[in-house]
Structure 1
Amino acid sequence: MSTAAPTTPTTPAAVPAAFQAGEATQDRISWVRLSSVYLPLDTPISDAKVLTGRQKPMTEIAFLFAEIGTEGGHEGIGFSYSKRAGGPGQFAHAREVAPNLIGEDPSDIAKIWTKLVWAGASVGRSGLSTQAIAAIDVALWDLKAKRAGLPLAKLLGAHRDSVRCYNTSGGFLHTPVEQVLENATASLERGIGGIKIKVGHPDNAVDLSRVQAVREHIGDAVPLMVDANQQWDRPTAQRVGRALERFNLVWIEEPLDAYDAQGHAALAASLDTSIATGEMLTSVAEHWELIRHSAADIIQPDAPRIGGITPFLKLAALADHQHLQLAPHFAMEIHLHLAAAYPHEPWVEHFEWLEPLFNEHLEIRDGRMWVSSRPGLGFTLSEQAHAWTRESVEFGSRA
């Protein structure tokens, strides 16, 4: 574990007026801790990217946790993550820009986000650099909601107290179809509302056989989705998409390369089944390309990937303006709150993988995930998360 020397709070004279905390400031950030935590997966995970040779099976997930404290004794926690490469880079970038937080008003979240982005703008304003900032941004929103004594969804202005949820973790391509069926049953018995399975196998017939087996197993009334993880070209997506129509799917996810807005738009226009995509994009601007091309019926942003809650809210406003459905990717501990505050009935994705990291678990029943009464995001780090910590650094002093 490494510890940086305490950072002296920035004085107003040392920074431009636009970045100074004004007379209305009620509190100031005095302490920041960053932690690099690696979550091991019980079974190596394979989707279509593995079967087509683009990636190796996933064996762990790297998390960047940010904890922020103020002079008044308030604290917040947030996280970002990386699957496969990128975890050390996120931690390194966050460590470089985090000292800029000391002395700031924690309520000025949008201003702080901009300040941190420009602190590292030479390496870009999307991708790894903003994913590092995302952990800090989420922590600031958690702090703000805790300070108000409200769940984050209520601070944002909830449209509902629960969100439809579906399970993904039980339907990966490395899993034999018999086990996929057992996993689907277990998910539904737990109270989860829908089932998503992976497709994109090199043999399209295998995909269709697996989808048919799951549909017959869960029945016609249970929502079913599929996810191709960007593995089809346009002709294949068109052919397989048509073949999948008979299974009454809620959506076909990432049928094409994540940046192929025109191809996704053509599919969305030609198929009855909704097209969902967006999880691999790393900025609001990239998502805007999908929106302006009418490339998705259901948009799937990932708050940690696009820079945190602050940019997510900007994107949600754009999606709402176009009357798009919303189904945020992964990180249900964050996305439950954001989905609850979206005007149109959304979905949230259930993965049990992250549960060992936290002392609290989300309530799932009646096909929905429920917002708890706990303030902020409603979670604290477990002893197991601390045991999986490989590196941490602190700035400033804790109140």
Structure 2
Amino acid sequence: MTLTPTNAAQVAGEATLDRIAWIKLSSVQLPLATPISDAKVFTGRQKPMTEVAFLFVELGTEQGHEGIGFSYSKRAGGPGQFAHAREIAPVLVGEDPSDIGKLWTKLVWAGASVGRSGLATQAVAAFDIALWDLKAKRAGLPLAKLLGAHRDSVRCYNTSGGFLHTPIEEVLDNATATLENGIGGIKIKVGHPEAGVDLARVSAVRERIGDTAPLMVDANQQWDRPTAQRMGRALEEFGLVWIEEPLDAYDAKGHAALAASLDTPIATGEMLASVAEHYELIRHDAADIIQPDAPRIGGITQFLKLATLAEHHNLQLAPHFAMEIHLHLAAAYSSEPWVEHFDWLEPLFNERLETRDGRMWVPSRPGLGVTLTDQARAWTTETHEVGVR
């Protein structure tokens, strides 16, 4: 057979030392102990959140190497992610697991008719993360070290103790306990329909934790432009690290105007589902702090592309949620980032991340350093396997 440049590139050569033999998909429903309400609930746009749906991908190779990755969905979309993953998974069997960029493209094109954003790339993300976990495990390195860490620990802040449904006295107690447990900063939710409620809660937390403890607020996209300007000015006195998602996630020009007019930094990006969508924020100077979510934008491969763009534009980095993944990625960012502490996922994993001195520490375990608990297996509602173990 005569090989053209196109099909020659698709034929594995001597450098291929291993191949993907099997893949297991699991749909897991994580129940939350308390229904969660942020500004989207108080404005009537969403119902309280009672569970988080996870798509787990476990895969193994002919030589016995294994990796695990996950994506997630809140309130809706979990079954769709699982269904899409089930359709595209077979294209990986027999492939070299080292060729992660190539495999990301192959997975995307396997489901190209539904696009390169949203649910489709969130399903791809779980495969991509599993491949990076496998590569780091095979190297015997934590993922951060495989990527090239700039630090062994990252500044961290807690979000889960400051939701709008939580009474202020409980928020204050949560803040005190959070700082005592070695977590460096506190983020609380704002965006209540009554501005006075927001300001009173922020004032109470600032008084409790003191003037020097890092404090952030998150409006979850619920302000319009005039409200964001008024609230931004009113919040200046509290010395916030950032105001998060003050406007609709796709309002790049509005975010840019707000960032230019306030001393308090603007952070956003968590709801975007591709590098291209984040680039709109970057090119409009719409954020001081970019907040990508690896499971939402297509995995670690895409996150690294976005991190390069962010670094080139001198942006700060504070990845959203999924600290088990983002700790490693934040540790590999050139300038000092933040990572978000959520304890929601702890029932899924046998391991715990260490927090002390206001920082979260990269574990010494290879890969992501996580394994699924028996409880996670018990919460599994559907599985699917391809290939042969």
Q: TM-score normalized by structure 2?
A: 0.98
Separation in structure 2 between the aligned mates of residue 55 and residue 16 of structure 1, nearest angstrom: 49
Separation in structure 1 between the aligned mates of residue 7 and residue 169 of structure 2, nearest angstrom: 62
Q: How does 1:28-107 map to 2 (within 5 A)?
A: 28-107=19-98
What SS does the aligned partner of 2:258 have? helix
Letter in 2 for 1:370: W
**Cα contact 1:76–1:139 (8 A) shared by 2:** yes
Which digits, 9 at most, give the CA deviation of each residue in 1:64-116, with x for residues without a partner?
Answer: 00001000000000000000100000000000000000000000000000000
Correspondence for 2:126 among 96, 121, 135: 135
Correspondence for 1:375 among 366, 379, 387: 366
Separation in structure 2 between the aligned mates of residue 355 and residue 301 of structure 1, nearest angstrom: 21
- 1:18 positional shift: 3.9
Greater RCO structure (CA 8 Å; 6+ sep): 1
- 1:23 positional shift: 2.5
Q: How does 1:160-171 map to 2 (within 5 A)?
A: 160-171=151-162
What SS does the aligned partner of 1:64 have? strand
Which digits, 9 at most, give the CA deviation of each residue in 1:8-64, with x for residues without a partner?
Answer: xxxx9xx94444433210100000000000000000000000000000000000000
What SS does the aligned partner of 2:232 have? helix
For the pair 1:309 / 2:300, whether they are aligned, the reply is: yes
What SS does the aligned partner of 1:184 have? helix
What SS does the aligned partner of 2:138 have? helix
Unaligned runs of 5+ in 2: none
Letter in 1 for 2:27: S
Separation in structure 1 between the aligned mates of residue 12 and residue 178 of structure 2, nearest angstrom: 48
For the pair 1:325 / 2:278, whether they are aligned, the reply is: no
Match of 2:108 in 1: 117
Separation in structure 1 between the aligned mates of residue 322 and residue 388 of structure 2, nearest angstrom: 29
- 1:397 positional shift: 1.1
**Cα contact 1:359–1:380 (8 A) shared by 2:** yes
**Cα contact 1:20–1:104 (8 A) shared by 2:** no
Q: How does 1:1-399 map to 2 (within 5 A)?
A: 16-398=7-389
What SS does the aligned partner of 2:221 have? coil
Letter in 2 for 1:57: P
- 1:264 positional shift: 0.2
What SS does the aligned partner of 1:153 have? helix
Which digits, 9 at most, give the CA deviation of each residue in 1:336-361, with x for residues without a partner?
Answer: 00000000100000000000000000
What SS does the aligned partner of 1:289 have? helix
Letter in 1 for 2:122: Q
| TM-aligned CA distance change 1:354 to 1:127, over 3 Å | same
What SS does the aligned partner of 2:177 have? helix
**Cα contact 1:19–1:115 (8 A) shared by 2:** no
Q: What is the CA RMSD across the aligned residues, in angstroms?
A: 1.1
Residue identity over aligned pairs, in percent, reads 83
Separation in structure 2 between the aligned mates of residue 194 and residue 112 of structure 1, nearest angstrom: 38
What SS does the aligned partner of 1:378 have? coil
Size of the aligned set, in residue pairs, is 386
Separation in structure 2 between the aligned mates of residue 366 and residue 256 of structure 1, nearest angstrom: 33
Letter in 1 for 2:335: H
